[in-house]
Amino acid sequence: MTKEYDPLNLKAFRGTRIKIFGTNADDPEKGRIFLRTKVGWFERIVDASGDLIFTPVTHSEEELLKFVAKGNPSVDLVQLSDEYQKKAYGELLEQLTSNDFNLHFAAIWIGKNKLFTIIGMILIVLGLLIFGSGIYLRLAYSPTNIQSIGSYKQQFEQLYYGGLAAIIVGAIMDIFGWILIGLTSLAK
């Protein structure tokens, strides 16, 4: 059974009231229109060819106000009429089900997953190097070798026990690396 990709959690999203603001309350189509979803604020844009596009702009309402003020500092955002909100909400839901929109969020999620995968791999490699160094220290400076050295016994003991610490640290790094890689593979 394949898992349906749902970046915006549409099942939970449907039926919830979203915020829809515009810059022109009298004729929303002549102003800018912004919709809030669970993943942030989107601007509703009709491009030159007449296609409807919802493009992500910010994550918070404060950022949205700053974003709108960049283009025109005197513009105020107003909540649009219930009738227009229903229309825009329907358009957004229609757009959310399109593959292009889902692919956009898939690309964002894959980018984040790549970062976690790379960090996990780095942790594993470093963990293995530290673990291997610890094994070497434990073998090279074992108690049988310490007895024959004499005056350097204390330094050899420190290296021997330092090897144990390196083994533990290396193992912990490997475990966290595998956990990160496992979590990213589960998220796909």
Domain borders along the chain are 10-97, 106-187
Q: Strand pairing partners for 44?
A: 33, 54
pLDDT confidence tier of residue 110, bands split at 50, 70 and 90: low
Whole-number Å distance between alpha carbons of 142 and 140:
6
pLDDT tens-digit profile of 123-154?
A: 899 999 999 898 888 887 776 665 555 566 77
Q: Are strands 52-58 and 40-46 parallel, antiparallel or unpaired?
A: antiparallel
Q: Which of 119, 132, 97 is nearest to 178 (CA)?
A: 119
Backbone angles phi, psi at 73, to 5 degrees: -60, -20
Measured CA to CA, the distance from residue 26 to residue 128 in angstroms comes to: 65
Predicted local distance difference test score (pLDDT) of residue 5: 42
Angle (CA) 55 61 62, round 5°? 115
